[in-house]
Structure 1
Amino acid sequence: MVLLAVAGYLVVQYVTGGGGAPGCRVVSAKGDGASYEFTPEQAVNAATITAVGTGRGMPERAVAIALATALQESGLRNIEHGDRDSLGLFQQRPSQGWGTEKQIMDPAYAAGIFYEHLAKVPDYAELPLTVAAQRVQRSGYPEAYAKHESDATLLAAALTGRAAATLTCDGRPGTQVAAVGPDGVRTALVRDFGRDALQEAGAEVSDKGAATPSPSVTAEAHGRTVTVPVPVDVPAHGTNGRTERAKRTARERGWQLAHWAVANSSALHIERVSYAGREWAAGSTRSRWRSTGSTSAGGAGTATDAVRIVTGQ
């Protein structure tokens, strides 16, 4: 009876993609009406997987492969059970050399080791997603990854920052993270993007791994706002590919940080996020990024650019 109950639970999770009421939504930037709804728990894990991938210099296609794999293996939830000794987001097995149980249950580690294996697959970006994922996972049901490709592609476009203002969450406060407020946001930024990412932006990071206020990552509005700078675009003195790519990379980085903050809004009690003249505020999943009518963040002719994250505490 216990085995039947567990099997039934796993079937439900497999069909629904993770359980829980959707609190987040991502839409296509192409205007084709495509969208995907998912839970705040899934949003946090998806944002971590993406941050680890871009931190390793992996392309958007690699992120989509990783997200589709995690959607299939765990419903994008960091679960403590699975087939035999499988664990975590990617259902990796300690007995198969993926790491210790503690390591595998760390989403950043699990994502990192997945990308490490994916990078060894020749021409993985040119392969069908199912084939690339299977080369890493060695699953008994390799065709199952295909059904998650469209959702994973939408998530990857938003969470890498290529598709601007396409991800929203309801922002209802969660209980997953004990340390909330600006300190919790800084700690989570270090967790997902690493110490180097914040140090490059001018942040000071303590030995404990949490970022501390500095002229670049500052606390404002009675200590409720974290401002994270984004690298300034290279002035366009021509139309060469290098200049255009430099501009695009800066903007993508900004939107990645902004969407990351929205994805973590429930866990970190984030109330507002603003970037590039657009602002998200905690509310319904159908809410949109509204225009602030300002070009002070990401507009033409500005000297600096930053993502502003306002917490509820």
Structure 2
Amino acid sequence: MIVVVLVVIVTAGLFLLFRRTPLVDLGEGCKVTTPSASLDLNIEQAQVAAVIAAVAARRRLPERAVVIAYATAIQESKLQNLSGGDRDSVGAFQQRPSQGWGRPDQLIDPVYSAGKFFSALVKVKGYRKMPLHEAAQAVQRSADGSAYAQHEEDGKILAAAFTGRVPGAVHCWFPTPDGTTPPPPDTEEAARRLGRALGPGTAFEAPSRGRGWLMAGWAVAHAKEFGLARVGYDGRTWVSADGHDGWKADSRFTAGKVRLF
């Protein structure tokens, strides 16, 4: 009887403890948070989203174009850079080489595929004001063009975050090695890769706060790939060791340049 009572007491105590301290499986992933809502992404999705926003910024396209691109990529690939798909479809937008979009090795490159999508989109007369699914369908010519409409709200959330309009909206987290000295971050390659999407000579110099936060979001989305431990910008910092907690105040960083460590 005494044993049973003890088991009940211990069980109740553990239940109350877990209620006060929720168990969170940090794992790895990314989160986008804006005043309207938040979305969970995996790291690959965040990287594709960051590239799409950068390519749009290089072309000086409006945010509406980015929303359309996101809704399209969500429907076509769940915002992932797929190596295959229906028939000969490839990449985040599932573009088909047989329809003249490019070679498979080109379409698997998010910078190239996003560029091809935007090149086609800007030729759609009045795309900024027409219903999203009509604009997307005019580019994609899929079997069911109405399906793009269901992703418009998610597209708006992603666009607000990855274009940099909402500061500090993108954060990611991933395991860090224990007991070993990590290799130095490859900031040079990160700058080169960003330059491919955003334009040569970028080098994380921020001509405006919006552009700076676009770069900062891109850097955080790619932090695991390039071994970045910290990204600092505009009075805030993101640290990989506690990336799940997002951006924190840090007066060491100004708005002039996105700093990578």
TM-score category (smaller protein): 0.7 to 0.9
Report sequence identity in percent.
44
CA contact (8 A) 1:173 1:268 kept: no
Look up the match of 2:257.
306
The answer to whether the Cα contact below 8 Å between 1:22 and 1:38 also exists between their aligned partners in 2 is: no
Can you give the 5+ residue segments of structure 1 that lack an aligned partner in the other structure? 1-20, 199-216, 218-227, 232-249, 299-304
Distance across 1 between alignment mates of 2:133 and 2:28: 26
Q: Summarize deviations over 1:206-262 as a string: whole Å, max 9, x none.
A: xxxxxxxxxxx5xxxxxxxxxx3222xxxxxxxxxxxxxxxxxx1101111111111
The match for 1:26 is 32
Matches within 5 A, 1:291-302: 291-294=249-252, 297-298=254-255
SS at match of 2:164: coil
Distance 1:116 1:140, change over 3 A: same
Scaled by the length of structure 1, the TM-score of the pair is 0.69
Residue aligning to 2:196 = 191
1:131-177 deviation line (CA, Å, top 9, x unaligned) = 11111111112222122222221111111111111111004469xxx
Corresponding position of 1:170:
173
CA 1:172–1:193: 2 relative to 1, 3 Å: farther
* Greater mean deviation of Cα atoms: 183-192 or 53-62: 183-192
Give the aligned length.
230
Q: How does 1:7-156 map to 2 (within 5 A)?
A: 23-28=29-34, 30=35, 32=36, 34-156=37-159
- Residue 89 of structure 1 and its aligned partner are, at CA, apart by 1.0
1:255 lines up with 2:255 in the alignment: no
User: Runs of 4 or more off by more than 2 Å in structure 1?
Assistant: 171-174, 283-286
C-alpha separation in 1, matches of 2:260 and 2:191: 10
Structure number with larger C-alpha Rg = 2
**Whose strand fraction is larger, Structure 1's or Structure 2's?**
1
Post-superposition offset of 1:107:
1.2
Paired with 1:183 and 1:22, the residues of 2 have a C-alpha distance of 24
C-alpha separation in 2, matches of 1:142 and 1:173: 42
1:91 & 1:139 partners in 2: Cα distance?
Answer: 10
- Structure 1 distance, partners of 2:57, 2:188, is 23
Q: Which residue of 1 aligns with 2:224?
A: 266
Asked if the contact 2:172–2:246 (Cα under 8 Å) also holds between the matched residues in 1, the reply is: no
Conservation of the 8 A alpha-carbon contact between 1:169 and 1:284: no
Alpha-carbon distance in 2 for matches of 1:172, 1:286 = 10
Which runs of 5 or more structure 2 residues have no equivalent in the other structure? 1-26, 178-183
- Structure number having the greater helix percentage: 2
- Could you list the per-position Cα deviations for residues 38-91 of structure 1 after superposition, in whole angstroms to 9, with x for gaps in the alignment? 000111111111111110111111011111111111111111211111111111
Check 1:150–1:22 CA distance in 2 against 1; reply closer, same or farther (3 A cut): farther
What secondary structure, in the 3-state scheme, does the structure 2 residue paired with 1:306 have?
coil
Distance of 1:290 and 1:180 partners within structure 2:
21
* Aligned with residue 205 of structure 2, among 229, 238, 241: 229
Output the CA distance in 1 between the equivalents of 2:176 and 2:193.
Answer: 16
Q: Which amino acid aligns with 2:211?
A: R
Structure 1 residue matching 2:257: 3-state secondary structure: strand
For normalisation by structure 2, the TM-score amounts to 0.82
Shift of 1:309: 1.0
